[in-house]
Amino acid sequence: MKQSKIIVLVLSTFTIGLTACLKERDMNTDPDKTPYVVEFANTGNNTAAAASKYPGFFIDLGTLQSGASTSFNVNVNYAGAGNAPEDVTVNLGLDPALLATYNTENGTAYETPPSSIINVPSSVVIKKGEKMAQAKISITNNASFDFSKSYGIPLKINSVSKGTISNNFGKAVYSFGVRNIYDGHYSMHAYTLRAGDPAKTGSFVDPNGMDLVTAGKNIVQFGTLQVWTDLTGVGIGNPVFTVNADNSVTASSSGGAMNAPGYNSRYDPTTKTFYVSFTWGAGPASRLAIDTLKYLGPR
């Protein structure tokens, strides 16, 4: 008899404990009791380091003509079980202090773009029954746009009409790349001279072509080294071409490249072709390159 009472007592204790656990679990999974969180969702390529407190994303905006505008969307998410039970207004703003923190944590040097080149909406609405809305940010290539700088937009969710703001994803840095009109992948017909070295002297076609990469508003840099006829690299640093107002081209490099005398280095905007000759070291009778680079398409 005593043994039966003990068994009944154990079963009763187990049943009460199980009921309590079920009640606790049900409360935690009840959609009506879930604290909805509003946050920035992934937009572009993730650029933040693992230890970074805030997320960061990069968006390549491609080539942007002078005076032209383009845009990208920032995803704003309503997290939690189910969809938004009503229209949720999400108020946005810029947070310059965020950018300073992000730069320190990630070793970057982003700057907030001038207000004249960006347009950030003050709010976005996640519609009832939906999970996400997109805030459209526009970028304009005007006189204030500085291609030599790395821009990052430090975006912050200031307030929401329903739910709470995410601690980790309530702020994010959106960096973007804009390419000048000379940026792209080019075919490359060339001649190189290295006095006394026939293996590196002569005319050739580089089968890999050449990427020209934006380095300023009217400046592009070789994506790799200039090559000799035998396709080995010329150790003068990646050549840089500056396109002047009259479409003449000034060549330079970290290793001392300069325009070859007597050659009309220029850019032809009609055919999108660079005709450039540069020399270095002992001079044009000893070290010389003549390149014809014709635009093939985006890199």
The domain total for the chain is 2
161 within a domain of the structure (yes/no): yes
Q: Is residue 269 part of a domain?
A: yes
**Domain ends where: 133, 160, 179?**
179
Residues 150 and 286 in one domain: no
Query: pLDDT: is 5 or 207 the higher one?
Result: 207
- Is the residue at 17 inside a domain? no
- Determine the average pLDDT of the residues in 10-25: 35
Q: Are residues 196 and 226 in the same domain?
A: yes
pTM greater than 0.85 (yes/no):
no
* CATH number of the domain residue 238 falls in: 2.40.128.420
Average confidence score pLDDT of the chain = 89
Q: Are residues 103 and 148 in the same domain?
A: yes
290 plus 175 within the same structural domain: no
pLDDT value at position 270? 98
CATH number assigned to the domain comprising residue 82? 2.60.40.1740
- pLDDT 10s digits, 52-61: 999 999 999 9
**Rounded to a whole number, what is the distance in angstroms from the first to the last CA of the chain?**
87
Q: Are 206 and 79 contained in the same domain?
A: no
Count of other CB atoms within 10 angstroms of residue 72: 19
pLDDT at 11 over 90: no
The predicted structure's pLDDT at residue 146: 93
For the record, the structure tokens of 85 come out as: 């039970």
pLDDT (average), residues 273-294: 98
Is 12 among the domain residues? no
Strand blocks (E) in 95-201 = 118-119, 123-126, 132-140, 152-160, 164-165, 171-179, 184-194
Beta bridge partners of 293: 188, 274
Mark whether 208 and 78 lie in a shared domain.
no
Q: Is residue 25 part of a domain?
A: no
Residues 54 and 134 in one domain: yes
- Condensed to tens digits (0 to 9), the pLDDT of residues 59-103 reads 999 999 899 999 999 999 998 778 999 999 999 999 999 999 999
Does 175 lie in the same domain as 37? yes
Residues 191-237 pLDDT 10s: 999 999 999 999 999 999 999 999 999 999 999 999 999 999 999 99
Domain end marker among 179, 199, 231 = 179
Same domain, 247 and 136: no
Single out the residue of 74, 72, 68 nearest to residue 140, CA to CA: 68
Same structural domain, 208 and 249 = yes
The answer to whether the beta carbons of residues 152 and 57 sit under 8 Å apart is no
| pLDDT tens track for 45-54 | 898 998 899 9
**Residue 81: its pLDDT value, please?**
77
The reply to whether 217 and 121 lie within a common domain is no
* Whole-angstrom distance, CA of residue 32 vs CA of residue 29: 9
Residue 22 has pLDDT above 60, yes or no: no
**Could you give the angle at the alpha carbon of 115 between the alpha carbons of 113 and 117, nearest 5°?**
70
3-state secondary structure of 299: coil
Domain boundary among the residues 179, 202, 225 is at: 179
| 286 within a domain of the structure (yes/no) | yes
Residue 276 belongs to a domain: yes
Report the range of poorest mean pLDDT among 17-21, 174-178, 195-199, 245-249.
17-21
**Domain limits at 232?**
184-297
Q: Give the confidence band of 34 by pLDDT, cuts at 50, 70, 90.
A: low
